[in-house]
Amino acid sequence: MNIKSIILTKEVKNKTELTSAIKKLKKEKNAVILAHYYQDDAIQEVADYLGDSLYLAQQAAKVENDIIVFAGVHFMAETAKIINPSKKVLLPDLKAGCSLADSCPPDDFAAFKANHPDALVVSYINCSAEVKMLSDLVCTSSNAKKIIESIPKDQKIIFAPDKNLGAYLNKETDRNMILWQGSCIVHEAFSFEKIISLIKSYPKAKFIAHPESESPVLDIAHYIGSTSGLLAFVQKDKAKEYIVATEAGILYEMQKRCPKKTFIPAPVEDDTCACSECAFMKLNTLEKLYRCLLNESPEVKMDKKLMDGARIPIQRMFELS
């Protein structure tokens, strides 16, 4: 019996079985798995490439396999399809969206852009392909500062969709970009007051944050960076304890890289929710990943014109990164 028929006839039950079934299917189908740090531990473990949004987009552009399984959210899988259109791109759950991308409807954004005809548009990669198509440049949290600084200082800029990242970049680059008022529900859930009292309870801990967090939170951070920036920081820094304000999935890789250090997720306003976890990211499960590889579905399908338009600002970002 070959692996395919074993899988089709047998109910795959536990993590270990699922993981080995995924690995076998991956080989059989010449597929590659790209996973973001915010995915479940088991998904991170089975990934061929694990990283932040910039790294994953760069890897997606280079993939030679027939199938890309994107364990992340929709805009990430869409970006992979745009930059490597001949590949079949699968997303374990097509409903894995992003509150930040959703906070910028393309029609509203087109009208906003029309009100500032002399402005250049820089969009954070956490947006729809339609918004990318309306943009001159795309950036991620790890290259945003560099991308903005590549633009002459007297050039008017619209930055979308994240108002928090935009405000942070305005401070960092000493600019006054026009900001689209979007945000991420996960990074806005952190409680400033509770963080302050946690810092008092752990006086030796360093507080580190993703720039999608609100400015009072960023103002008290010892370090601000993208997910890969935060990881690099805790590896080279001398402290032993860290309070981490970003999606809690990152703690798994932090703990792996620094087993002797302690990582504490930053507290959120509402104690009754798991708000420091991105509900969209967590829609992907190991079981869905297995099924999507098995069925080669759900697939991310896109209009060619949209892909061609959205590719231009992404390629400009790659050239500048």
59 or 99: whose CB is closer to ligand SF4?
A: 99
* Residues of this chain, 125-154, that bind ligand SF4 according to CB under 6 A: 126
The beta-strand segments (E) located in 37-82 are 49-51, 67-71
Report how far Cα 305 is from the mean position of its chain's Cα atoms.
25
96 or 151: whose CB is closer to ligand SF4?
A: 96
- Establish if 98 lies at the interface with ligand SF4 (CB under 6 A): yes
* Residues of this chain, 18-37, that bind ligand SF4 according to CB under 6 A: none
Of 5-13, 85-93, 137-145, 232-240, which part binds ligand 13P (CB under 6 A)? 137-145
29 or 162: whose CB is closer to ligand SF4?
A: 162
**Least gap, CB of 281 to ligand SF4 (angstroms):** 5
Q: How many CB atoms lie within 10 A of CB 176?
A: 9
Phi first, then psi, for residue 72 (nearest 5°) are -170, -150
Is there a contact between 213 and 187 (Cβ–Cβ < 8 Å)? yes
Q: Determine which residue in the list 31, 68, 100, 244 makes contact with ligand SF4, applying CB under 6 A.
A: 100
* Residues of this chain, 89-128, that bind ligand 13P according to CB under 6 A: 126
* Residue 177 CB partners (closer than 8 Å, separation 6+): 122, 148, 157, 158, 159, 166, 169, 170
Distance CA 281, CA 289 (A): 12
* Residues of this chain, 29-88, that bind ligand 13P according to CB under 6 A: 52-53
Structure tokens belonging to residue 114: 């029309």
* Residues of this chain, 153-212, that bind ligand 13P according to CB under 6 A: 184, 210, 212
- Establish if 276 lies at the interface with ligand 13P (CB under 6 A): no
**Least gap, CB of 55 to ligand SF4 (angstroms):** 15
141 binds, among ligand SF4, ligand 13P, none (CB under 5 to 8 A by kind): ligand 13P
119 or 283: whose CB is closer to ligand SF4?
A: 283
Q: How many CB atoms lie within 10 A of CB 257?
A: 12
Name the residue number minimizing CB distance to ligand 13P.
52
* Residues of this chain, 179-208, that bind ligand SF4 according to CB under 6 A: 184-186
- Establish if 78 lies at the interface with ligand SF4 (CB under 6 A): no
* Residues of this chain, 218-247, that bind ligand SF4 according to CB under 6 A: 247
Strands 157-160 and 178-179: parallel
**Least gap, CB of 224 to ligand SF4 (angstroms):** 15
The beta-strand segments (E) located in 37-160 are 49-51, 67-71, 88-90, 120-124, 137-139, 157-160
Can you tell me whether residue 150 is helix, strand or coil?
Answer: coil
Is there a contact between 76 and 36 (Cβ–Cβ < 8 Å)? yes
Distance CA 287, CA 122 (A): 37
Q: Which spans of this chain sit near ligand SF4 (rule: CB under 6 A)?
A: 73, 98-100, 126, 184-186, 212, 247, 278, 280-281
